[in-house]
Structure 1
Amino acid sequence: MSAILSADDLNDFISPGVACIKPVETLPKQEDYNPYEVTTEDKVQAQNPAPASISLTDCLACSGCVTSAEAVLVSLQSHTEVLNTLDSYPSIDVRRLADSWNGTVNGHVPQPANARLFVASVSPQVRASLAATYGISERKAGFMIEQFLSGSQGLRIGGQHNNGFTYVVDTNQLREACLVLGAEEVAESIANKSKSKPVLTSSCPGWICYAEKTHPHILPHLSNLKSPQALSGTLLKSVLSRTLGISPSQIWHLAVMPCFDKKLEASREELTDRWWQPSETKDLSEPAVRDVDCVITSRELLSLAEQRGVQLSSLPLEPVAPSDRPPFPDTKISNFLFPKPRQRTEQSATAGSSGGYLYHIIATEQARHPGSTISVQRGRNVDVAEYSLLSASGETLMKCARYYGFRNIQNLVRKLKPAKQSRLPGAARRMAASASGGSEYTYVEVMACPGGCTNGGGQIKIDDVASILPQTRGEEVVNIASPQSQKEWLKRVDEAYYSADSDSECDEDMVMANGNGRTKAESVHEVVNGIDVSDVQEVLDHWVSLVRVPLEKLAYTTYREVESDVGKNKASGKNLDDAARIAQIAGMSGGGW
């Protein structure tokens, strides 16, 4: 059972008046299909429409059948699914594949036809959650997770094939690429007005779901950049399939994330190999392959360990031995994914707990204006903040903002909503004033969870700790209980997240086994916000050259309006406030909203 559910929740109750927003698609026949024609379902007649079905893609962060959506979530993406997959397929021998691809003759036996290459990516917020739980540093929590997923004392101790994950990637490395590309996107939007102002973060799937289903006027503002999770999936599947000569369907990618909504993101049809495979290798007769096959959360990681019979606290807090992991097949990509030593880019309270998109973008602009300073002003609550870049003379060069939490997001959306036409005296002046409600910002970082990603719905909660830890340690942590207990717990998680880069435990011996590249200290490139921008761009150029796919297809995605009854008057004439009830239902279920 998913950690988000309890027996009391399993009533499969759909609240009256809360619309299920799964649209019934009745598309024209293929021979009549014109890809350049825009049509709506009321203009397309179908004699026998197929029955509507509800899947994870339609439901997770939506406004309707919360319990039904969770049932789909459990069946499609859960820790049980991870174990079933590991036990159903033998693991690909990457060393043999690499030798075969390079023309080396050896004595390895042929690969089974149904073999899979298992890879994983882990977010820093998950490591922070485990660090707070076990009282260790964020870096050691990363080693704990790596040992569990890849090491000989982790998942490999059981199952039919004793499988584990061949590669475990830190999504912080792909986050660097997202930050660099995000800064470029904003700079281009300023120079060419290629996007409506302000540009809005698109890495939070709960926020994207809300925008697509309830506020289509927001879509032109959204960044088209993929999230670190999605970019990790595209990079791993495209590079490994190309360098090892295997199909993307033979690579199974697990993402460990702080948020249940990330399961929704993984199921988007835009995030499959259909969107980036070269046309000459694309087989439309085969089903699309997801870039991320399964997402589990921090709490589900604990359930995964429990079901396999592994005690996380007993695992070595050091990297997996080189003998237990084959080298990554491309050296340049390996140096990027597994840097040596394992250093971290800046994590600070100023940058926020959700990747620091806003902070990197304004820091990039600051680097172009010597002598400028960044001013931060708190908004109406702790989850709203305004950032201003001021020149040496005090002139405002750029304004950005951070909006975390659903209630604050609603305020932002209202500011950006186009004003209705009116013929009343002075209407034009009022419309002009209201239209500028949010447009003074160049960029807004939007996250659905109050407190940001460290407070994701799938993170370990204080009430879970007593059952996880030994009796004395569990009581010690839970005894901070008070009306503010969960806030105090979140502070511990934030401390682990922000203290990561000041951790002094990174010795030369404690490095990822695959890394053999230069250190950050050896880099001669300009560094912005702790990120070597030129180095990241070189890696991206190499990726494009290696897989022979344009960066536009690899690193960017699209969004679309989803027709819905949410927020509209019902036929009964009752003007129900769906938005408030959506927030209440999602909050009770532990989701991002």
Structure 2
Amino acid sequence: MSAILSADDLNDFINPGVACIKPVETLPKQQPTDNPYEVTTEDKVAAANPPPAQISLTDCLACSGCVTSAEAVLVSLQSHSEVLSTLDGHKELRLPWEQHGHANGEINGVNGHSSEGKIFVASVSPQTRASLAATYNVSEREAGNMIAQLLSGPYGLRSGGANGSGFTWIIDTNVMREACLVAAADEVQQALTTPTEGQKKPILTSACPGWICYAEKTHPHILPHLSKLKSPQALTGTLVKSILAKRQGISPENVWHMAVMPCFDKKLEASRSELTSHSWHAQDQSTDPVRDVDCVITARELLMLAESRHISFPCLPRTQLPKHLRPSFPDPTINSFLFGRRNPKHTPKSPSADLSLTVGTSGGYLTHVLQTHLAAHPSSTLSIQRGRNADVAEYTILSATGTPIFRAARYYGFRNIQNLVRRLKPAKASRMPGAVRKLARKPGAGGGGPGEGEYSYVEVMACPGGCTNGGGQIKVGDVATLRQIGGTGVENGSAEQIVLPAQREWLGVVDEAYWSADDASTSSSADDDDEMDVDGDGDTEMNDHHNGINGLNGDHTASGDNDIVNGISRSHITHILHHWAKITDVELEKLIYTTYRAVESDVGKENGGGATEMERVSALAVAQGGGW
């Protein structure tokens, strides 16, 4: 294991685990002998010892014994090694709609329906680009170009390997994030007006898999509060695989989607059984489900990926990939949405001073919901009250008369999350006759703040400081070494002395790189001269009032001044989502929503036969000729 990534770095430990029972359960059954009276010798017993059991992330999620993202290191799946072995084991599939050669320049000649080939797709988070940008002292945009050069360029992965395979498309998850933000605002509005059965206030964000895993395994009473939206990572995988399967007839098994994310828990999200082809591909129910996201790696693992192929990441070109290495997506409208240059009017801006506590670096769910309600009430104002620490804040939208209209909050870090879920726990009725039902505690009691029961929306993230502080991000202690290895710390033949800040200040540098993407996205570049803002019909990019669609329910009404919120056009996003559902012939709810389930531990509890879990494991071990 490289020094860049080690198990010691995973400090997001939540709950102590128990002895893993997977190796015992997977032992092969003893074959009966022909002679029941034959004496078994020691040699025969030793020869029958099975090989070590393979434990996948799916097994870890199915087990309720432990809750920690260290699971991601204890398994062989979803790592930079898995990426390399997949690229080396499968030729790059030729795109059937590309009639004049492959994006890779006729690298392999595999036809469009070969079962051996795969279309490789990568999605990259802005937090990962920000971490690499801060590490190598480049802009966020340049870091994104370097990632694309590694995954798809001639000096990257394509320059080596058994097949010279690379990634056909590199997708910015910011694009799908816009769809998530619009859908999140609609979900909150629906919960306020016509709540669905089983939905409870406040709505809690579900984009953080560490938080979801924690809620499912320790606090099932939270599940009715969780947003049903898929994360941008999951939504990207669903979009790519569903369109290729429904419109192009390419099996989901032949599309391999890798996501580059800021935290290890995203590997757990990718392994969820709810996020597979069975959720949207009705014809695929008879076969094994195919995950929408096949592999997740982090920023540090991305560098290990380059190191394994003897590629110097900081020496990669910082310019955009040439156009012949950026093939079009088969549907023109979706292609424009995924890869078209963003309209400056639709580009979110860096947070102002009064909203710095609101926006954060975790996708901007809270700020978009707040801005949507502020736009719906032009005379309203936003009041921000900081909690007991910087990772807790409460927000109240006030009418012109000072009456509260909408309440929301932000809770980052497990210490703060524990306070949230404890106070959302429903009160238990006393069994004593005549006892008064005890009310649940409210946060801010005695402090004048609103309680969770009064919130309509809460943004919850497991990492203190948000997603730029994810466990897979590059730590400040590794920066000096990485810069020297890349040659960026050497000038005029002498080593440049690199003075780095402390970890807390380093996160500020990463955050600054994260927000610098806004300025870069609105500026013109010579690299983008060959990209026109066109929609699916070849016209200029859809304007703010395209089709006048408001809401995800498909109502066609005139879009007013509230259509653009925080630089995102609601009608444009809604049009894209309905177009996606139409061309795949899949209900929109199946494409963008998911489900959750309570995972109750059986460890130490009696099963149907009256035996505890540990007794059952011991019995299995004894039955196989062993024991503890």
TM-score, L = length of structure 1: 0.81
Say yes or no: does 1:345 pair with 2:353.
no
Q: For 1:489, give the aligned amino acid.
A: W
Q: Is the 8 A contact 2:544 2:571 kept in 1?
A: no
How is 1:106-255 mapped onto 2 (pairs within 5 angstroms)? 110-111=111-112, 112-194=114-196, 195-255=199-259
Separation in structure 2 between the aligned mates of residue 406 and residue 566 of structure 1, nearest angstrom? 24
* C-alpha deviation, 1:56, in angstroms: 1.2
- Percent identity between the aligned chains? 55
- 3-state SS in 2 of match to 1:164: coil
Q: For 1:480, give the aligned amino acid.
A: L
Separation in structure 1 between the aligned mates of residue 84 and residue 383 of structure 2, nearest angstrom? 48
Deviation string, structure 1 residues 300-355 (Cα, Å, up to 9, x no partner): 00100111122122222222111122211110001111122576433433311100
Q: Is the 8 A contact 1:214 1:566 kept in 2?
A: no
* C-alpha deviation, 1:241, in angstroms: 2.3
Return closer, same or farther for 1:489/1:8 CA change in 2, 3 Å cut-off: closer
Which residue number corresponds to residue 570 of structure 2?
533
How is 1:441-452 mapped onto 2 (pairs within 5 angstroms)? 441-452=455-466
Separation in structure 2 between the aligned mates of residue 98 and residue 245 of structure 1, nearest angstrom? 17
Return closer, same or farther for 1:179/1:68 CA change in 2, 3 Å cut-off: closer
* C-alpha deviation, 1:378, in angstroms: 1.2
* C-alpha deviation, 1:506, in angstroms: 3.0
Which residue number corresponds to residue 480 of structure 1?
500
* C-alpha deviation, 1:510, in angstroms: 3.0
Which residue number corresponds to residue 276 of structure 2?
272
- Which of 364, 371, 384 aligns to 1:363? It is 371
Structure showing greater radius of gyration is 2
* C-alpha deviation, 1:511, in angstroms: 3.2
Q: Is the 8 A contact 1:21 1:564 kept in 2?
A: no
Separation in structure 1 between the aligned mates of residue 60 and residue 6 of structure 2, nearest angstrom? 19
Separation in structure 2 between the aligned mates of residue 16 and residue 411 of structure 1, nearest angstrom? 16
Q: Is the 8 A contact 1:121 1:229 kept in 2?
A: yes
Q: Is the 8 A contact 2:124 2:172 kept in 1?
A: yes
- 3-state SS in 2 of match to 1:76: coil
Deviation string, structure 1 residues 491-523 (Cα, Å, up to 9, x no partner): 100111122212377325333977652677954
- 3-state SS in 2 of match to 1:80: helix
* C-alpha deviation, 1:142, in angstroms: 1.1
Separation in structure 2 between the aligned mates of residue 504 and residue 531 of structure 1, nearest angstrom? 14
Separation in structure 2 between the aligned mates of residue 203 and residue 345 of structure 1, nearest angstrom? 19
Q: For 2:193, give the aligned amino acid.
A: A
Which residue number corresponds to residue 475 of structure 2?
461
- Which of 485, 491, 495 aligns to 2:508? It is 491
Which residue number corresponds to residue 76 of structure 1?
77
TM-score, L = length of structure 2: 0.77
Q: Is the 8 A contact 1:305 1:312 kept in 2?
A: yes
Separation in structure 2 between the aligned mates of residue 7 and residue 523 of structure 1, nearest angstrom? 48
- Which of 372, 380, 383 aligns to 2:380? It is 372
Q: Is the 8 A contact 2:412 2:465 kept in 1?
A: yes
Which residue number corresponds to residue 49 of structure 2?
none
Which residue number corresponds to residue 282 of structure 1?
284
Q: For 1:539, give the aligned amino acid.
A: I
* C-alpha deviation, 1:529, in angstroms: 1.1
Separation in structure 2 between the aligned mates of residue 522 and residue 210 of structure 1, nearest angstrom? 42
Which 10-residue stretch deviates more, 463-472 or 347-356?
Answer: 463-472
User: RMSD over aligned Cα, in angstroms?
Assistant: 3.5
Return closer, same or farther for 1:522/1:237 CA change in 2, 3 Å cut-off: same
Q: Is the 8 A contact 2:136 2:488 kept in 1?
A: no
Compare relative contact order (CA 8 Å, sep 6+) and give the higher one, 1 or 2. Answer: 1
Which residue number corresponds to residue 579 of structure 2?
542
Which 10-residue stretch deviates more, 256-265 or 431-440?
Answer: 431-440
* C-alpha deviation, 1:171, in angstroms: 0.4
Separation in structure 1 between the aligned mates of residue 409 and residue 541 of structure 2, nearest angstrom? 30
- 3-state SS in 2 of match to 1:458: coil
Q: For 1:325, give the aligned amino acid.
A: R
* C-alpha deviation, 1:99, in angstroms: 8.1
Separation in structure 1 between the aligned mates of residue 14 and residue 172 of structure 2, nearest angstrom? 40
Separation in structure 2 between the aligned mates of residue 347 and residue 138 of structure 1, nearest angstrom? 14
Deviation string, structure 1 residues 248-303 (Cα, Å, up to 9, x no partner): 110000000000000000000000001100x3x2241x211000000000000010
Q: Is the 8 A contact 1:2 1:78 kept in 2?
A: no
- 3-state SS in 2 of match to 1:115: coil
Say yes or no: does 1:307 pair with 2:301.
no
Deviation string, structure 1 residues 47-81 (Cα, Å, up to 9, x no partner): xxxx99853135379763869834543x1010011
Q: Is the 8 A contact 2:92 2:120 kept in 1?
A: yes
Separation in structure 1 between the aligned mates of residue 604 and residue 385 of structure 2, nearest angstrom? 33
Deviation string, structure 1 residues 213-263 (Cα, Å, up to 9, x no partner): 000000000011000000000001111223332101100000000000000
Which residue number corresponds to residue 19 of structure 1?
18
Which 10-residue stretch deviates more, 392-401 or 534-543?
Answer: 392-401
Return closer, same or farther for 1:409/1:516 CA change in 2, 3 Å cut-off: same
* C-alpha deviation, 1:166, in angstroms: 0.4
* C-alpha deviation, 1:544, in angstroms: 0.3
Separation in structure 2 between the aligned mates of residue 15 and residue 440 of structure 1, nearest angstrom? 28
Separation in structure 1 between the aligned mates of residue 438 and residue 149 of structure 2, nearest angstrom? 60
Q: For 2:489, give the aligned amino acid.
A: R
Return closer, same or farther for 1:164/1:261 CA change in 2, 3 Å cut-off: same
- 3-state SS in 1 of match to 2:382: strand
**Alignment: residue pair count:** 528
* C-alpha deviation, 1:400, in angstroms: 0.3
Q: For 1:126, give the aligned amino acid.
A: T
Which 10-residue stretch deviates more, 222-231 or 464-473?
Answer: 464-473
Q: Is the 8 A contact 1:166 1:325 kept in 2?
A: yes
Which residue number corresponds to residue 394 of structure 1?
402
* C-alpha deviation, 1:377, in angstroms: 1.7
Which residue number corresponds to residue 324 of structure 1?
325
Deviation string, structure 1 residues 336-379 (Cα, Å, up to 9, x no partner): 11122576433433311100111111111111111112222211
Q: Is the 8 A contact 2:343 2:522 kept in 1?
A: no
Q: Is the 8 A contact 2:428 2:438 kept in 1?
A: no
- 3-state SS in 1 of match to 2:489: helix
Return closer, same or farther for 1:534/1:98 CA change in 2, 3 Å cut-off: farther
* C-alpha deviation, 1:21, in angstroms: 8.2
Which 10-residue stretch deviates more, 155-164 or 58-67?
Answer: 58-67
Q: For 2:134, give the aligned amino acid.
A: A
Q: Is the 8 A contact 1:255 1:295 kept in 2?
A: yes
Q: Is the 8 A contact 1:79 1:303 kept in 2?
A: yes
Which residue number corresponds to residue 588 of structure 2?
551
Separation in structure 2 between the aligned mates of residue 264 and residue 239 of structure 1, nearest angstrom? 24
Q: Is the 8 A contact 1:63 1:566 kept in 2?
A: yes
Q: Which runs of 5+ in 1 are unaligned?
A: 27-50, 101-107, 569-593
Separation in structure 1 between the aligned mates of residue 425 and residue 8 of structure 2, nearest angstrom? 39
- 3-state SS in 2 of match to 1:503: helix
- 3-state SS in 2 of match to 1:223: coil
Which residue number corresponds to residue 414 of structure 1?
422
Q: Is the 8 A contact 1:260 1:457 kept in 2?
A: yes
* C-alpha deviation, 1:134, in angstroms: 1.1
Return closer, same or farther for 1:119/1:316 CA change in 2, 3 Å cut-off: same
Separation in structure 2 between the aligned mates of residue 295 and residue 360 of structure 1, nearest angstrom? 27
Q: Is the 8 A contact 1:123 1:258 kept in 2?
A: yes
Q: Which runs of 5+ in 2 are unaligned?
A: 26-51, 102-108, 444-449, 547-562, 606-628
Q: Is the 8 A contact 1:340 1:516 kept in 2?
A: yes
